[in-house]
Structure 1
Amino acid sequence: MELREIDLNLLIVFNELLRLRRVSAVAESLDVSQPAVSNALNRLRRLLNDELFLRTAKGMAPTPLAERLAEPIGYALGAIHSSLNERVTFDPAASQRHFTVAMTDIGEIHFLPKLMQRLAEAAPRVTIGTISTSRSDLREEMENGRIDLAIGFVPDLKTGFFQRRLFRQRYVCLYRHGHPLAENGITLKAFRAAQHLAIAAEGTGHGVVDEVIQRAGIVRDVRLRVPHFGAVAHIVQNTDLIAVVPQAYADRTLEPFGLQTSACPVKIPDIVINVLWHAKKHREPDNQWLRQLVSEHFSTQASAYV
């Protein structure tokens, strides 16, 4: 099949059907009639000799061929859209651009103070909004351009995304000063005997902690499980609970909360903290500027965590 045989509008309809799964929703999204959407789908079916989408109780389900075509077509449409709408320059000093950045609560603690300080100097009118990287629709929101960057340990964002490494990160045990088990550091025996605070952090890569500890055959005495890191330092400060946390989080809590750390006696693989962006944002000058700013001010910290 030659490209001249394909109407670009058919691929736009295909991409919207993959996203919305209903003809009526696609018609509304593209501001066309439902018959026009159905006609476009039928033309594609004839061209590709495949049903592409099958009607189900939950909407239009893609066939295996449609699933295989989803990524290259989405990538190509995103690249075309970016190229046609690319701005020649971006002036951070004059811009009033609002960026949406996905990160965990640890990311907010680690990145935002310095990032906002740098923005105040270089781009005083630029604003930032953050959302959680654990959102189930993170990939879709980035593909649609509603999220500009993701920062952190986000291993699920690979196909269709670019990434740049900022630093490597190890996990450590975090506990209060004077903890009865910590005179000689947290040994494996002490780790088994300790009462633990576990952090679920669902939807992020930090679930690796529980998986590795379980595979090592260690049954922790988990007295408290929380969904995120926000209150961990406050809790550990006032109890004998210990927590396994990333080094960057621990470093921000030691002095303010009177805590200390030890190497984790269970070998947990280091994680890589990246800045990630979707292919459709790759050539946008404003996105290029922000990710370069993040890289310049945080990738140099790699040596502290290796």
Structure 2
Amino acid sequence: MELKNVDLNLLLVFNQLLAERRVSKVAEALGLTQPGVSNALKRLRLLLGDELFVRTARGMEPTPYALRLAEPIGYALSTIHDSLNEVAHFDPATSKRKFTLGMTDIGEMYFLPKLMEILRRQAPGVSVSTVRNTTVNLQDEMEAGHVDLAIGLLPQLKSGYFQRRLFRQRYVCMFRKGHPLDKEGLTVEEFRDADHVTVVASGTGHAIVDQSIERLGIRRNIGLTVPHFVAVGHILSNSAMIATVPERYAMACVQPFNLRYVTHPLALPEININVFWHAKFNKEPANKWLRSLIFDNFADGREA
């Protein structure tokens, strides 16, 4: 016999008859009519080739074959019921879950110190690893569940993904303290004529700033181009160069590298920094917990 030929509802009737032994009770318990229960029993008898239940003065008594089926069918139905009605739960205090986050080097510098301190207090057994948004196929990795969340400016994550904004941030101009431009107000000409270090952050959306500067007709003196932001603080602290960087990255660099940043002289677009997750894991308890934790601790509160 193939399972595809078995109607699960017939097994529900069978299991309930074992418990109630009366058609009327079964009908009441399952929300069926008595003829409906009788018809289900008739179909099950034909399917299994056995009477299954015999009418007696004490009610519907199971046959020996029905009694042999009772335990495995009851166990199977119980397992299905429990699985479908399981209250999904994630306990951060006891979990040993390892999360993988997709983010840039900026994200690591801005989010990870605070996030790891929060996890140390709330989820000491939880660990985190990161992957660069630009070094993996983020769409495939998130769909497969290899990357739990991604954070940043990620225009490539569209269909099949949920996202929630953490904050909007502007671009600023950053340089070392004591730089000739370390003063109140920076003119467009001063910005244009300075020596620049730029970051080619392909795949992250940060390229929008370079495109915007070009559209404004500003030709910078670009002396150095690097593939990531992680070295920019070191470079600026030991040179006369300046850089256009996201403000929250600048905030993280000011103290460690003795830097300063000012409002950018150009009208550059603000960017959204979002948390992304694949729709397959929208209701997965651990995923829900982590993204809620991130939002509660890093969102600027301006999202509707």
Same topology, TM > 0.5: yes
**Number of aligned residue pairs:** 221
Residue 215 of structure 1 is matched in structure 2 by 215
Alignment of structure 1 residues 49-68 onto 2, 5 Å = none
Deviates more, 1:254-263 or 1:175-184: 175-184
Does the C-alpha gap of structure 1 residues 184 and 89 become closer, same or farther in structure 2, counting only changes over 3 Å? closer
Letter in 1 for 2:122: A
Deviations along 1:217-267, one digit per CA (max 9) or x if unpaired, are 111100000000001011001111000000001001112211111111111
Deviations along 1:145-200, one digit per CA (max 9) or x if unpaired, are 11100011112211110011111110000001111133343210101110000010
Letter in 1 for 2:291: R
Residue 97 of structure 1 is matched in structure 2 by 97
Does the C-alpha gap of structure 1 residues 233 and 210 become closer, same or farther in structure 2, counting only changes over 3 Å? same
Alignment of structure 1 residues 143-292 onto 2, 5 Å = 143-292=143-292
For structure 2, list consecutive stretches of 5 or more residues without a partner in the other structure: 1-82
Letter in 2 for 1:280: K
Indicate the SS of the match to 1:254.
helix
Identity of paired residues, percent?
Answer: 52
Kept in 1, the 8 Å contact 2:163–2:277? The answer is: yes
Indicate the SS of the match to 1:163.
strand
Kept in 2, the 8 Å contact 1:86–1:284? The answer is: no
Letter in 2 for 1:226: V
Kept in 1, the 8 Å contact 2:182–2:260? The answer is: no
Q: Take 2:116 and 2:99, find their aligned partners in 1: how far apart are those partners?
A: 12
For structure 1, list consecutive stretches of 5 or more residues without a partner in the other structure: 1-82
Deviations along 1:196-217, one digit per CA (max 9) or x if unpaired, are 0001011111111110011111
Q: Take 1:96 and 1:282, find their aligned partners in 2: how far apart are those partners?
A: 20
Deviations along 1:79-115, one digit per CA (max 9) or x if unpaired, are xxxx989871111111111110001101001100111
Indicate the SS of the match to 2:206.
helix
Letter in 2 for 1:282: N
Q: Take 1:134 and 1:85, find their aligned partners in 2: how far apart are those partners?
A: 39
Kept in 1, the 8 Å contact 2:152–2:204? The answer is: no
Does the C-alpha gap of structure 1 residues 184 and 88 become closer, same or farther in structure 2, counting only changes over 3 Å? closer
Deviations along 1:107-152, one digit per CA (max 9) or x if unpaired, are 0011001111111111110110000112351111111111100011
CA radius of gyration, larger in: 2
Indicate the SS of the match to 2:299.
helix
Deviations along 1:33-91, one digit per CA (max 9) or x if unpaired, are xxxxxxxxxxxxxxxxxxxxxxxxxxxxxxxxxxxxxxxxxxxxxxxxxx989871111
Kept in 2, the 8 Å contact 1:173–1:262? The answer is: yes
Q: Take 1:298 and 1:241, find their aligned partners in 2: how far apart are those partners?
A: 30
TM-score (norm 1): 0.69
Indicate the SS of the match to 1:151.
strand
Q: Take 1:103 and 1:87, find their aligned partners in 2: how far apart are those partners?
A: 31
How far apart are residue 302 of structure 1 and its match?
Answer: 5.7
Does the C-alpha gap of structure 1 residues 302 and 196 become closer, same or farther in structure 2, counting only changes over 3 Å? farther
TM-score (norm 2): 0.70
Does the C-alpha gap of structure 1 residues 116 and 85 become closer, same or farther in structure 2, counting only changes over 3 Å? farther
Instruction: Tell me how large the CA RMSD over aligned residues is.
Output: 1.9
Q: Take 2:86 and 2:216, find their aligned partners in 1: how far apart are those partners?
A: 51
